[in-house]
Amino acid sequence: MSEAVAPETTETVAGGGDPAVPRHVAIIMDGNGRWAKKKGLPRVAGHREGAEAVRRTLKAAVEAGVECLTLYAFSSENWRRSEEEVTDLKGLMRFYLERELEELAREGVRLRFIGEPSAFGPDLWERLQLAAARTAGNDTLTLNVALNYGSQQELARAAQILAQEVAEGLITPDEITVERLGGVLQTAELPPLDLLIRTSGEVRLSNFLLWQAAYAELVFLDLLWPDFDAQAFKGALGTFAKRQRRFGGR
Ligand code: FPP
C-alpha cells in the first residue's frame, strides 16, 4: 500500500531560489457579494471589482516570483446562483479575457484552466481554449483558473480514469498509488500547492483542491476579495515564510 507522501519538491525552491516563497499559491476569492452589499451596489459590481483584484494579485505574484497562481473563479456549485448572476460572471470572464489577453501574453503569463469550462457554452469555451493556446509557451507564471471546478468531481473523474486502466488490464488495483492518482488530476503538471488563501472570513475549503491541499499552508483573511491587494498578498506570503513545514515529520 502506498503511503501519503510529502511533495518531492519539499527541498527544492521557488522560481527565484528562495524557499520562503511559495511556488504555487491558490486563492478562494470570496466576499464579492458582501462587498457590493455593504456599498449598496448590485452583486455584479462586487464581481467587477473582484476582477480588478485579480489583476493586482497577478502582478504581485509575478513580482514575488511565484510560479503558479490558481484562482477559484467559478465552482461546480455556483450554478445554484441566479441565472442573472451566472450570466454576469460569464460576461465578466469574456470581458477580462478580451481586455487582458495581450498583456498577459506580453508579461509571459501562461493561462490554463481546471474544472469543466466547456459547460459555459461553445463561445466562451472557444475563447478560453484560444487564450490557453496563445499563452502556452510562456513561463513567467502559470495562471490556472478553476472554472466550473469541484474537487470531489475531479477526484471521481480520476478514479474513473484509473478504474478504466484496471479494466483494460493496463494496471493492477495495487498499482493505484498516491503518485498515480495525483498524476491523473487536472493539476498533475503544476508544482505542489504550497499556500492556500481564502478571503472574507469564511474558514472552509468549499470543494477546492482537497487533495492538493494535503500539505498546503492555509491562510484565512478577514478581507473581502475586492479589497485584496498587493499588500495583502505580501502579508500572506510573509505568514507562509514564518510557518514551519514538516510534512508529517518532526
Ligand atoms: C465569491 O464571492 C466570488 C465568486 C463566486 C466569483 C469570483 C469571480 C471573480 C473574482 C471575478 C472574475 C474572475 C476572473 C478570473 C476574471 P461571492 O459572490 O460568493 O461573495 P459573497 O459570499 O459575499 O456573496
Averages of pLDDT over runs of 10 residues in the chain (250 residues) are 46 59 98 98 97 97 98 97 96 94 96 97 96 97 98 98 98 98 98 98 98 98 98 98 86
How far apart are the CA of 143 and the centre of ligand 1, in A? 17
Q: What angle do CA 250, 237, 226 make, to 5 degrees?
A: 135
Active site annotation includes 138: no
Residue 3's pLDDT is what?
Answer: 45
Pocket lining: 96 vs ligand 1, CB cutoff 6 Å: yes
Ligand 1, residues 29, 48, 229: which to mutate, most atoms within 8 A of Cβ?
29
Locate 94 and state its grid cell: 469574456
DSSP H helix total and E strand total for the chain: 7, 6
Residue 12's pLDDT is what?
Answer: 39
Q: Any residues with CB less than 8 A from the CB of 58 and at least 6 apart, and which?
A: 69, 109, 141, 143
Distances in whole angstroms, Cα of residue 183 to Cα of each of 54, 71, 154, 211: 28, 20, 12, 12
Residue 244's pLDDT is what?
Answer: 86
Distances in whole angstroms, Cα of residue 217 to Cα of each of 22, 186, 191: 10, 20, 14
Active site annotation includes 78: yes
Using CA positions, which residue lies closest to atom 14 of ligand 1? Answer: 51
Query: Contact 190/168 with Cβ under 8 angstroms?
Result: no
Pocket lining: 93 vs ligand 1, CB cutoff 6 Å: yes
Residue 2's pLDDT is what?
Answer: 44
45 — phi, psi (to 5°)?
A: -65, -35
Distance in angstroms (rounded) separating the CA atoms of residues 108 and 237: 22
Q: Which atom of ligand 1 is nearest to the CA of 46?
A: 18
Pocket lining: 44 vs ligand 1, CB cutoff 6 Å: no
Which of 32, 78, 144, 148 is catalytic? The answer is 78
Q: Which atom of ligand 1 is nearest to the CA of 48?
A: 11
Q: Which atom of ligand 1 is nearest to the CA of 75?
A: 5
| Topology, domain 24-148+187-242 | Undecaprenyl pyrophosphate synthetase (3.40.1180)
Q: Which atom of ligand 1 is nearest to the CA of 145?
A: 15
Domain ranges of the chain: 24-148+187-242
How far apart are the CA of 232 and the centre of ligand 1, in A? 17
Q: Please tell me the number of Cα atoms within 13 Å of 12 on its side-chain side.
A: 12
